[in-house]
Amino acid sequence: MEFDLAQTDALLTTTRSVRKRLDLDRPVPREVILDCIRIAAQAPTGGNAQGWRWLVLDDPEAKATAADLYRRSGREYLASYRSRPLDDQTGKVIDSADYLLEILDRVPALVIPCIKGRVDDPAPFWQASHLGSIIPAVWSFQLALRSRGLGSCFTTLHLAHEAEAAEAFGIPAGMTQVALLPVAYTKGTDFKPAERRPADHITHWNHW
Ligand SMILES: Cc1cc2nc3c(=O)[nH]c(=O)nc-3n(C[C@H](O)[C@H](O)[C@H](O)COP(=O)(O)O)c2cc1C
């Protein structure tokens, strides 16, 4: 199989955290979300456990509940950034994050990816095996959205109230929520690669 490298690399390098350019007025059909979850389920899982589950909120009341939980920890967290000097890139991220916090309940769908099991042991073996069995799938989901003209943003702020979210949405005990993704069509699709440190600055060969 030959890939179109230009297109594949463009998808991988321009899938940004979208907040201000989420289209709040264009509905997202459930089939599109299911299609992206079908693609995400090709991601790897430890021991091929496939313990992922996806909670999709598209009901206004459910979204408002999730947005409340997000704001409860998010307002304070984002305000803490304002008390220190911010470089340009971080300042823009915080502005954008503030915006997302305010409009979260108006985003067409909020997706909470979950993974079966709870891991309290902080040892990397357990943490990496557990979270590593869902986060690659989440990124695949975000890439699949992007290739269909939709955008999303990996967020974790609601997890400060994970137990309350579990209670509100009937998430069974023993599941771990890993994120909350706002999902919407994007206003325009012309996203750009972000500035990153060069690969040879962050890579070590054979010895650190
Ligand atoms: C683990 C993780 C947690 C994040 N949590 C939040 C969040 O709670 N709210 C938010 O607006 N963005 C969140 N982000 C998005 C980051 O701010 C974003 O990835 C970063 O600024 C780089 O921007 P880019 O994804 O467009 O390259 C999170 C990203 C990651 C990987």
pLDDT of residue 83: 85
pLDDT of residue 84: 85
| C-beta of 152 in contact with ligand 1 (< 6 A) | no
User: Which residues have CB under 8 Å from 193's CB, separation 6+?
Assistant: 13, 14
Nearest residue by C-alpha to atom 13 in ligand 1: 155
Nearest residue by C-alpha to atom 15 in ligand 1: 154
Nearest residue by C-alpha to atom 21 in ligand 1: 93
pLDDT of residue 86: 86
Count of C-beta atoms within a 10 Å radius of residue 130: 21
Residue from 193, 139, 203, 206 nearest 6 by CA: 193
CB 162 within 8 A of CB 87: no
| C-beta of 100 in contact with ligand 1 (< 6 A) | yes
* DSSP conformation class of 106: G
| C-beta of 135 in contact with ligand 1 (< 6 A) | no
The series of mean pLDDT values per 10 residues for the chain, 208 residues long, is: 96 98 98 98 98 98 98 94 87 95 98 97 96 98 98 98 98 98 98 96 98
Tokens of 29: 């059909």
* Residue 157: Cβ-neighbour burial (10 angstroms; 0-12, 13-18, 19+): buried
Q: Tell me the CATH number of domain 19-186, given options 3.40.109.10, 3.60.110.10, 3.40.50.620, 3.60.15.10.
A: 3.40.109.10
| C-beta of 14 in contact with ligand 1 (< 6 A) | no
Among 87, 89, 156, 197, say which to mutate for ligand 1: greatest number of ligand atoms within 8 Å of CB: 156
Domain boundaries, the chain: 19-186
Residue from 114, 104, 154, 111 nearest 134 by CA: 114
pLDDT of residue 135: 98
The rounded Å distance from CA 97 to ligand 1 centre is 8
pLDDT of residue 182: 98
* DSSP conformation class of 180: B
| C-beta of 129 in contact with ligand 1 (< 6 A) | no
Report the atom number in ligand 1 closest to the C-alpha of 101: 11
The rounded Å distance from CA 16 to ligand 1 centre is 9
Angle at 194 between CA 191 and CA 197, to 5 degrees: 160
Taken in order 114, 118, 120, 122, the sign of the CA dihedral is negative
